[in-house]
A and B are shown apart, each in its own frame.
Chain A
Amino acid sequence: MGKTWLRDYIIKRLIYAVIIAFGIMTVTFILIRVGPSSPADKYLANLAATGQDVSQVVAAIEARYGLDKPIYQQYVDYIANLVQGDWGWSFSTSMPVMQLIKTHWIYSFQLIFLSTIFATVVGILIGIYSAVRQYSKTDYIATFFSFIGISIPNFWLGVMLILVFSVKLGLFKTYYDTTLPLFSLANLKALILPVVTLGTGMLAGYTRYTRSAMLDNLRKEFVRTARAKGLPERTVIGKHVFRNALLPIITIIMFDLGSIVFGGAYLTEIVFGIPGLGQISFNAIFANDYPVVVAITLIGTFIVLMVNLVTDITYTYLDPRIRYD
């Protein structure tokens, strides 16, 4: 036993992650090549929209994208560029894609970070309360609202919040104000509606996970022992039940971060006009800005891969009962 199998496991997972990353790059390459329009077409559509003569640029673009080379050479170049961090040039904003991402990732990050904190803290608290007072009125109300929270489409919730709090009550602006300094109270206030929008679904989910994880542990023998020893209820719940329930909760939150949150953040950014990566990808789609769409898809996928990898490893490390083969 010992730590060797854990090390082997981590190495194995890392190798998988690299294979998957290559798989994803290959898939995007194939999709781009199979797709009905080439990067050149998208670029031309862009130029034509500005009224330029496009015929002379075609050759230049094909050379720029290596479209005149054989397909395997294009594939090798594509992968090599990505690995070296040359992610191309954004047509619509005239700057390197990497530069664009560097200036905008913080907006996505602050939204996801604050929403996760909000959902985790509130969700876990409600979940604990619900489990401890199972079948009480509060428990029923919490269960009912978590059902609603899970089913409500977050982009619609966002629009409804704008309708009530911005349009009717005038408490907030209808769009996120990009001129606000990042670390200020005004910025925090501007983020309240987006955070609620993105956080509600997560909050509802975490309430339910916490409740069921707590209930599982409340029925365990060691809880009865702890109570029999005469420990105060607060200690039993806090130390014996909650600590054991925490592991599955954290795992679920981390996995959620990977898959669900990305889609949600993308939509929330668009609803409120927050200039994060989702908004950039959205603008790029309608500007036919190829490299940006590719880059954000790849980055999103890589981040999800990394988060899942870290989750798996932490989980294995924290819970010695788990052994993967």
Chain B
Amino acid sequence: MDKLVSKIGKNRNLVLVLAISLLSLVGVLDIFLVDKIFAPIVYFYIAFGIVLLLYGVYPLYTNRRLTRYYLDRTKRNRLAIFGLAFILFLILMAVIGPFFTLDPTAVNFEEKDLPPLGFTIEQSVYDAETGKLVRVSVPSTIEHPLGTDNKGRDMLAMLVSGARVSLQVGLLATLIALILGTVIGVLSAYLGGWADNILMRFTDIMMTFPFFLLLVFVIFIFGPNLAIIVLVIGLTGWTGAARLIRSEALSLRTREFVLASKALGASDSRLIFAHLIPNVISLVIVMATLSIPGVILAEAALSFIGLGDPTVPSWGTVLKAGQQTLDTAWWVAVEPGLMLFLTVLAFNFLGDGLRDAFDPKSGL
């Protein structure tokens, strides 16, 4: 078992190329098949899982001493631990939550505007006998622990669905952006000269683009759809990573161990894959953690202004609906926003903690 793992690990670049090509092949075949094997988004998940295993889990698994060291340093930062715990909870909620909650789209006007557990509100109800509006107090129910909206949809179920949307968009768009950024950054550093100049100019241009306006524009033209939102954010969000990786690569190029490896006759691809990428990976992980909240916020903002995917309830759409019923059902606006806020906070805390943990110079 250990032998197999180390064999795969040593050739992980080859494994990655093979796995991704196999996956794309199956994916393309799938599109032409009448009976679909997976939904398109599942292919992205599998790709994400493969990358995570090969470049995240494997190095940590083989370098146990280093793993323990990182863990130790992260553990000392209580906020980072809170962040990590909340993110794990969120992932759990998104993955298995839908099996336990009600249907988030089921409308039931009998149970509209129910408050969350522990709250009781006054509601005006039409009384058929007297023909007048009467005030009645409405208690919360255990079936809807977080209450319901003005169409009687279960808040908990909608929040779970929203967690799914947010994580999907956040992870996938960041994955695309980081892969692009790494490729462009490494290329730029290794090619140098005019190629570097053009790539970096292009990066500058992309950086100054008001990204939210572009997003709104593209969604306006192509229609609201999660895949498009992911693609646009992924294709525009790589600039920071590209710059960071380029500068890191440039400084690594002159370091002794790289020069030694070069003197021993290592090829460019070996230099890139064996020295450069493993050395920037911790930087990339920190960058990913810190850029995920921005992506999640962008998606929520889009759904908030009504440009989100209309087929799935997300935190942004629920929040928008909640603004319309602030005077009768405040929780509809409070709950999704709170989730969004905590998620962003958790990723920021974790990212900061990881940055300190990976930086041997920081005095932890």
Chain A residues with a Cβ under 8 A of chain B: 16, 20, 23-24, 28, 31-32, 35-37, 147-148, 150-153, 155-156, 159-160, 162-163, 167, 174, 258-259, 262-263, 266-267, 270-271, 281-282, 285-286, 293-294, 296-297, 300-301, 304-305, 308
Output the nearest chain A residue to B301 by Cβ-Cβ distance: A267
Is B220 in contact with chain A by the CB < 8 A criterion?
yes
Task: Indicate if the CB atoms of A23 and B205 lie closer than 8 Å.
Answer: yes
Task: Indicate if the CB atoms of A160 and B334 lie closer than 8 Å.
Answer: yes
Q: How far is the CB of B166 from chain A (nearest CB, A)?
A: 11
Q: How far is the CB of B115 from chain A (nearest CB, A)?
A: 14
A16-B205, A263-B210 known; 12 new pairs, CB 8 Å cut-off, are A28-B217, A147-B348, A148-B345, A151-B348, A156-B337, A159-B326, A160-B334, A259-B210, A293-B220, A297-B217, A300-B210, A301-B213
Task: Indicate if the CB atoms of B213 and A262 lie closer than 8 Å.
Answer: yes
Q: How far is the CB of B279 from chain A (nearest CB, A)?
A: 26
User: 8 pairs across A/B with beta carbons < 8 Å?
Assistant: A20-B208, A151-B293, A153-B300, A159-B322, A159-B333, A163-B333, A281-B216, A293-B220
Is B223 in contact with chain A by the CB < 8 A criterion?
yes
Task: Indicate if the CB atoms of A153 and B222 lie closer than 8 Å.
Answer: no
Output the nearest chain A residue to B219 by Cβ-Cβ distance: A285
Is B89 in contact with chain A by the CB < 8 A criterion?
no
Q: How far is the CB of A254 from chain B (nearest CB, A)?
A: 12
Output the nearest chain A residue to B213 by Cβ-Cβ distance: A300
Is B260 in contact with chain A by the CB < 8 A criterion?
no
Main secondary structure of the interface of A (DSSP, over half): helix
Q: How far is the CB of B254 from chain A (nearest CB, A)?
A: 20
Q: Point out the residues of chain B lying under 8 angstroms from A156, CB to CB.
A: 319, 333, 337, 340-341
Cα–Cα, bound, A9→B278 (Å)? 38
Q: Which of B211, B301, B306 has the most CB of A within 10 A?
A: B301
Task: Indicate if the CB atoms of B213 and A160 lie closer than 8 Å.
Answer: no
Q: Point out the residues of chain B lying under 8 angstroms from A259, CB to CB.
A: 208-211
Output the nearest chain A residue to B215 by Cβ-Cβ distance: A263
Q: Which residues of B in the span 251-281 have a Cβ within 8 Å of any Cβ on A?
A: none
Output the nearest chain A residue to B340 by Cβ-Cβ distance: A153
Which of B201, B212, B216, B345 is the one whose CB lies under 8 Å from A147? B345
Q: Which residues of B in the span 214-229 have a Cβ within 8 Å of any Cβ on A?
A: 214, 216-218, 220-223
Chain B residues with a Cβ under 8 A of chain A: 201, 205, 208-214, 216-218, 220-223, 293, 297-298, 300-301, 304-307, 319, 322-323, 326-327, 330, 333-334, 337, 340-341, 344-345, 348-349
Output the nearest chain A residue to B204 by Cβ-Cβ distance: A16
Q: Point out the residues of chain B lying under 8 angstroms from A163, CB to CB.
A: 326, 330, 333-334
Which of B210, B213, B326, B333 is the one whose CB lies under 8 Å from A174? B326
Cα–Cα, bound, A86→B119 (Å)? 57
Q: Point out the residues of chain B lying under 8 angstroms from A305, CB to CB.
A: 208
| Contacts between the two chains (Cβ within 8 Å), count | 116
Q: Point out the residues of chain A lying under 8 angstroms from B304, CB to CB.
A: 155, 267, 270
Cα–Cα, bound, A28→B220 (Å)? 12
Q: Point out the residues of chain B lying under 8 angstroms from A23, CB to CB.
A: 205
Cα–Cα, bound, A301→B210 (Å)? 6
Output the nearest chain B residue to A263 by Cβ-Cβ distance: B212
Q: Point out the residues of chain B lying under 8 angstroms from A159, CB to CB.
A: 319, 322-323, 326, 333, 337
Task: Indicate if the CB atoms of A151 and B341 lie closer than 8 Å.
Answer: yes
Which of A31, A35, A263, A308 is the one whose CB lies under 8 Å from B211? A263
Task: Indicate if the CB atoms of B341 and A304 lie closer than 8 Å.
Answer: no
Q: How far is the CB of A324 from chain B (nearest CB, A)?
A: 11
Given contacts A159-B319, A162-B326, A297-B216, A263 and B348 within 8 Å (CB-CB): no
Cα–Cα, bound, A160→B298 (Å)? 19
Q: How far is the CB of A46 from chain B (nearest CB, A)?
A: 14
Output the nearest chain A residue to B348 by Cβ-Cβ distance: A151
Q: Point out the residues of chain A lying under 8 angstroms from B345, CB to CB.
A: 147-148, 151
Q: Point out the residues of chain B lying under 8 angstroms from A160, CB to CB.
A: 333-334, 337
Cα–Cα, bound, A156→B342 (Å)? 12
Q: How far is the CB of A174 from chain B (nearest CB, A)?
A: 7
Q: How far is the CB of A210 from chain B (nearest CB, A)?
A: 19
Task: Indicate if the CB atoms of B208 and A36 lie closer than 8 Å.
Answer: no
Cα–Cα, bound, A174→B293 (Å)? 29
Q: How far is the CB of A183 from chain B (nearest CB, A)?
A: 28
Q: Point out the residues of chain B lying under 8 angstroms from A155, CB to CB.
A: 300-301, 304, 319
Cα–Cα, bound, A285→B307 (Å)? 9
Which of B209, B301, B326, B341 is the one whose CB lies under 8 Å from A167? B326
Which of A167, A267, A270, A297 is the one whose CB lies under 8 Å from B214? A297
Task: Indicate if the CB atoms of A167 and B216 lie closer than 8 Å.
Answer: no
Q: How far is the CB of A146 from chain B (nearest CB, A)?
A: 11
Cα–Cα, bound, A267→B299 (Å)? 13
Q: Which of B210, B304, B319, B327 has the most CB of A within 10 A?
A: B210
Q: How far is the CB of B216 from chain A (nearest CB, A)?
A: 7
Task: Indicate if the CB atoms of B323 and A162 lie closer than 8 Å.
Answer: yes
Task: Indicate if the CB atoms of B217 and A304 lie closer than 8 Å.
Answer: no
Task: Indicate if the CB atoms of A36 and B334 lie closer than 8 Å.
Answer: no
Task: Indicate if the CB atoms of A270 and B305 lie closer than 8 Å.
Answer: yes
Q: Point out the residues of chain B lying under 8 angstroms from A300, CB to CB.
A: 210, 213
Task: Indicate if the CB atoms of A297 and B341 lie closer than 8 Å.
Answer: no
For the complex of A and B, the 7 pairs showing the least CB-CB separation, nearest first, are A263-B212, A156-B337, A35-B221, A151-B345, A151-B344, A297-B217, A300-B213
Task: Indicate if the CB atoms of B208 and A304 lie closer than 8 Å.
Answer: yes
Task: Indicate if the CB atoms of A167 and B327 lie closer than 8 Å.
Answer: yes
Cα–Cα, bound, A23→B301 (Å)? 26
Q: Point out the residues of chain B lying under 8 angstroms from A153, CB to CB.
A: 297, 300-301, 337, 340-341, 344
Output the nearest chain A residue to B293 by Cβ-Cβ distance: A151
Q: Point out the residues of chain B lying under 8 angstroms from A36, CB to CB.
A: 221-223
Q: Point out the residues of chain B lying under 8 angstroms from A262, CB to CB.
A: 210, 212-213
Q: Which of B222, B297, B306 has the most CB of A within 10 A?
A: B297
Q: How far is the CB of A280 from chain B (nearest CB, A)?
A: 12
Output the nearest chain A residue to B352 by Cβ-Cβ distance: A147
Q: How far is the CB of B290 from chain A (nearest CB, A)?
A: 11
Q: How far is the CB of B2 from chain A (nearest CB, A)?
A: 42
Q: How far is the CB of B304 from chain A (nearest CB, A)?
A: 5
Given contacts A32-B221, A263-B211, A285-B220, A271 and B323 within 8 Å (CB-CB): yes
Which of B210, B293, B305 is the one whose CB lies under 8 Å from A258? B210
Q: Point out the residues of chain A lying under 8 angstroms from B297, CB to CB.
A: 153
